[in-house]
Amino acid sequence: MNDLVTTGLYFDHSMNGHPESIDLLELSRFAGNLGGVEWTEHSTVIPPADPKYFRDIFIRNRVEHLIVVGHTPGNLEPFFKKASEGTRLESGHISYISLPEWGLAGKRDTLLAKILIYESVTGQLPKGFRDADAPLMHEATLVIGGGIAGIQAALEIANSGHKVYLLERTGTIGGHMAMFDKTFPTLDCAACILTPKMVEAGQHPNIELLTYSELACLEGSSGNFRARILKKARRVDITRCIGCGVCAEKCPSKTYSEFDAGTTLRKAIYIPFPQAVPNKYLIDAEHCIYVQEGKCGVCAKVCPAECVILDDKDQEVVLEVGQIVVATGFNVFDATRMEALGYGKYPNVITSLEFERLVNASGPTGGAITFRHQDKKGNWIFQKDGPGPASIAIIHCVGSRDIHHRKYCSRVCCMYSLKMAHLIREKLPSAQVFEYYIDMRAFGKGYEEFYERIREEGVHMIRGKTATIEEKDGKLLLKTEDMLNDRMIVQEVDMVVLSVGLEPVTDALQLAGMLGITADDEGWFMQRSGNISPEGTLRGGIFLAGACQGPKDIPDTVAQASAAASGVIRQIATGRISLSMQDFAHEEIEQFLSSKSPIAEEQP
Amino acid sequence: MSYRIDPEFRKELGKFGVGSEWSECYHCGNCTATCPLTEEKILFPRKGIRMIQMGLKEKISAYVEPWLCYYCGDCTKTCPRDANPGELMMALRRYLTSVYDWTGLSRKFYTSKSWEFGFILFFAALVVALFSVFLPLRPDAEQMVNASGGVMINSLIAGMSPSTFVSVIEWGDWIMAMIVAGLLISNILNMFHKIVLSDHSVRVPLRAYFIGFWKLTFNFLTQARFSKCDNRNYWAGHLLLMTGYSIMFAVIVVLLPEFQTEEVNPWYHWQRLLGYYATFGILYFLIITAIGRIRRSDINLRFSHSTDWLFIIMLGLTTITGILVHIFRISGLPAATYYTYVIHLAVLVPMILVEVPFSKWSHLAYRPFAIYFSELKKAGKPRTADIGLAPAIS
């Protein structure tokens, strides 16, 4: 039997204030009933109180083990070090439980937090919860999301000889990376790196692509999942479609292309982009005249392969998989929410994603940077030819680092903005480029050098966030405080590019609920541990890859995807899947915790 | 020029209602760029936040910009860090009022409620005492009603002729005006010294003093600078208050014999029309502001310091008692007229003595002069680069 160590718990309420967060009072009550716990206390103030006050408590209760629980309890370390001087705790130990580090944020996680506390107090996980694993019933893995993260993870797993289902919501795999022109800081062609991987994934014998499909429901437990997949009606039989394009040529309905970030028009029957995988057509029901009004059907008439099925219905398939890699990526911030910057009001205020397409050789203008104008039919598109802008401003931190929008740093915008500045200088050598930044965050390998290089190329760097943009006589006026030169600037430019931040996909929380994993208060999925398991989740057999866990650049995304794949392959190799807290039913945990003497039960 | 960093400065500011939101600021410059009043050489509010974060106490003393801000709240609304720069400017005005005031009373009033209330109650009691000892109500006051049914307001004092009573009150007005003016002028000189003379980086040409004076007068009369803020309602309300208050001040101090007459003039008489306009102007502003502050309807009314409320309450009481004096007078109620008159003065006198030289109302002098001083600095020619080094540590 373990000797009972006299334990004290301190609960730090700071940063844990909102009503939906974990109930620390209940945790405190729970901890007080555990064997060996002599004292618990909680506070909302930092620093908590006089160290002397705690020293007296430690001496009075003969505390040998102190556990500090809270949002960022490590911040209190110097304080408790000081308080423990001259007490039994000095030779004992202090441990810290950071709840978010364990992915515990919401009220519903209170039960799981109890297990953590139980483990910390008794030094052992309850019987049955520790080193628990389950047999891996199905070897196949489901990868959700077909961007660079999903493709990388799928290829890693498939190349080691295991079956992968690659699930993608849109008509093609490729994700955001396929839209980009160049990567930073090496200025490699993004498509040149990604397209071969897409083709490989599309042709791999171990990978089954499920495009235009979504996860509808997940049942079962780790190692033995049943995933119900909604295969949306594509209305084109991809086994027969030869990709000739006659249908799109005749289709009368047009809309803005998602792949080109709305800078070009596509037909209602379309291939997302020429290198799409699978390179087959699909029908956008929302804009299809036949689907909406019941007449037309010209595509079906002209198709030489007779593969258009206008009355196609949604289907459901059930996949039995052992493990899941979540790689759902991100959305870009909607710049219309920053009203003062005039996006959506002035045609030549564009977002960085639109710029990526504009400057791309396969983009709307063949790579020429031109002005946006209204064509004869009233659509806002970029001029095919015409003069380029003589001056372009790039505004950083649009939607990021802003308490009213997204409070975090989106991590990639500084670098892609520098890259855009370089591309502008390359395409329009006489154009003046102004970068308005708050802080230049060039943190990665080769990034600072890239920043230096762009500065040397003659791009103007201005430290100050542009507050307002107004249009006057066809020019855009930017009002900014140039704080390093102690002056106000009203800069007149021809075009403005807004470096929009990254945000979680709109239905991230819904997906997290479906998968039984946690998300932080912004909506990014929660990793198992920020330091040692950024690719795992609290649920065994579910891994994270790429920006769905937090904003990330391409190298980090690929690294994380490979790490997730290695986790998957490890468990396939052992044939067993290691479980964690969230794999257990809440009733099971509750039943355990309510048993009177849990430690005694551990005795043989 | 070099400045000393004062780590205790933030605590000192805290006493003036400066919160700690400014520590959130990460210097993106959005506030300065959003501000409709910021100019090429006059950048605020971000620079002020920087000075406070750095603890540059001396530099804040020489900082004229808070007076150039009219608190439209655009900076606070759009601040990406919720650092509340607008309210910081407001709180800095409180702090600066105490910096300019050499008597030290302003500091006491802003940082201690007991000092402020004690001062007010003392002067209120003094007014009541002076009246009850030297200017008591005559026993046959009920007779003092003229043919038209109005109270003969100057004949209510026992053993004193109407003309003597008017000149006693007029003398009192003048003495008070002199005290207040003396305090304000000396404080403005102090402000001038801190803002213009102590700034060795610019040399102000003599011509600028004359040209700038026009802007001072113009802005004082029209509040033109205020009208540059996006929401012009505040400017209009403030202009009503300012003109109403100035008219009242003029008729009380300069034209008292014509204003406080024995005869009740018909309603269309200039004396009554001016009075009605002034009362309306002040009352309108007070009601709008009080409702706004209670409902916290706009960003600039969301945070109310105790002195903000005291100002509204004192001015409100003065106005209401003034209206009551008028009503009792035309209704022919001599005793009621007398007592409300005494209460009116018992509120008015401490309000003038506390608010104008030491508290919120001092801005009537500081704001136009701040515009004047900033014009001087803008016109100033830079001296040779003055890169003073901090004194070596020995």
A484–chain B Cβ distance below 8 A for any pair: no
In the DSSP assignment, the letter for residue A277 is B
Low-confidence ranges of chain A (pLDDT < 50): 1-2, 596-604
Question: What's the pLDDT score for residue A603?
Answer: 39
Torsion, Cα of A516, A522, A528, A534 (10° steps): 130
Q: Answer whether A468 sits within 8 Å of B80, measured CB to CB.
A: no
User: Helices (H) and strands (E) in chain A — how many of each?
Assistant: 16, 30
- Domain holding B34, by residue range, is 9-100
Beta pairing partners, A95: A67
A470–chain B Cβ distance below 8 A for any pair: no
Same domain flag for B40 and B95 = yes
Same domain flag for B350 and B233 = yes
Question: What's the pLDDT score for residue A99?
Answer: 80
Same domain flag for B253 and B206 = yes
Residue A480 is nearest to which of B29, B47, B78, comparing CB atoms?
A: B29
Domain-located, residue B385: no
Chain B interface, mutation test: which of A413, A414, A463, A465, most B Cβ atoms within 10 Å? A465
**Is the distance from CB of A291 to CB of A283 less than 8 angstroms?**
yes
Q: Could you tell me the pTM of the whole model?
A: 0.85
Q: Answer whether B33 sits within 8 Å of A404, measured CB to CB.
A: no
For residues B29 and A308, give the distance between their C-alpha atoms in angstroms, rounded to a whole number: 56
A339–chain B Cβ distance below 8 A for any pair: no
A487–chain B Cβ distance below 8 A for any pair: yes
Question: What's the pLDDT score for residue B388?
Answer: 45
B76–chain A Cβ distance below 8 A for any pair: no
Q: Answer whether A479 sits within 8 Å of B46, measured CB to CB.
A: no
Domain-located, residue B384: no
**CA neighbours closer than 13 Å in the CB half-sphere of residue A459:** 28
E-strand spans in A117-212?
A: 133-135, 141-144, 164-167, 207-210
Q: Answer whether A488 sits within 8 Å of B34, measured CB to CB.
A: no
Domain-located, residue B95: yes
B126–chain A Cβ distance below 8 A for any pair: no
Residue B78 is nearest to which of A340, A438, A439, comparing CB atoms?
A: A340
Question: What's the pLDDT score for residue B224?
Answer: 86
**Is the distance from CB of A556 to CB of A164 less than 8 angstroms?**
no
B33–chain A Cβ distance below 8 A for any pair: yes
Residue numbers in A near B20 (CB within 8 A)? none
A401–chain B Cβ distance below 8 A for any pair: yes
Amino acid at B318: T
Q: Answer whether B81 sits within 8 Å of A479, measured CB to CB.
A: no
pLDDT single digits (tens) A439-498: 999 999 999 999 999 999 999 999 999 999 999 998 999 999 999 988 899 999 999 999
Domain-located, residue B3: no
Same domain flag for B288 and B147 = yes
A406–chain B Cβ distance below 8 A for any pair: no
Same domain flag for B178 and B237 = yes
A468–chain B Cβ distance below 8 A for any pair: yes
Same domain flag for B199 and B71 = no
Domain-located, residue B391: no
The two beta strands, B202-203 and B381-382, are: antiparallel
Same domain flag for B179 and B296 = yes
The two beta strands, A576-578 and B202-203, are: unpaired
B103–chain A Cβ distance below 8 A for any pair: no
Residue numbers in B near A467 (CB within 8 A)? 29-34, 78
A340–chain B Cβ distance below 8 A for any pair: yes
Rg (CA), chain A: 28
Taking the CA of residue B44 and the nearest CA in chain A, the distance in Å comes to: 10
Same domain flag for B65 and B135 = no
Same domain flag for B204 and B313 = yes
A483–chain B Cβ distance below 8 A for any pair: yes
Question: What's the pLDDT score for residue A14?
Answer: 66
Domain-located, residue B394: no
Using the 3D structure, point to which of B80, B100, B120 is the last residue of a domain: B100
Same domain flag for B219 and B95 = no
C-alpha closest to that of A193 among A544, A554, A512: A554
Residue B29 is nearest to which of A340, A401, A465, comparing CB atoms?
A: A465
Same domain flag for B212 and B91 = no
Taking the CA of residue A518 and the nearest CA in chain B, the distance in Å comes to: 27
Using the 3D structure, point to which of B72, B100, B128 is the last residue of a domain: B100
Q: Answer whether A480 sits within 8 Å of B40, measured CB to CB.
A: no
Query: How many structural domains does chain B have?
Result: 2
Residue numbers in A near B31 (CB within 8 A)? 467
Same domain flag for B90 and B127 = no
Using the 3D structure, point to which of B100, B122, B143 is the last residue of a domain: B100
Give one word for B388, left, alpha or beta, with left for phi > 0 and alpha for psi -120 to 50.
Answer: beta
Low-confidence ranges of chain B (pLDDT < 50): 386-394
Residue numbers in B near A501 (CB within 8 A)? none
Domain-located, residue B4: no
Degrees (nearest 5) of the Cα angle A21, A26, A32?
140
Domain-located, residue B1: no
Residue numbers in B near A466 (CB within 8 A)? 33
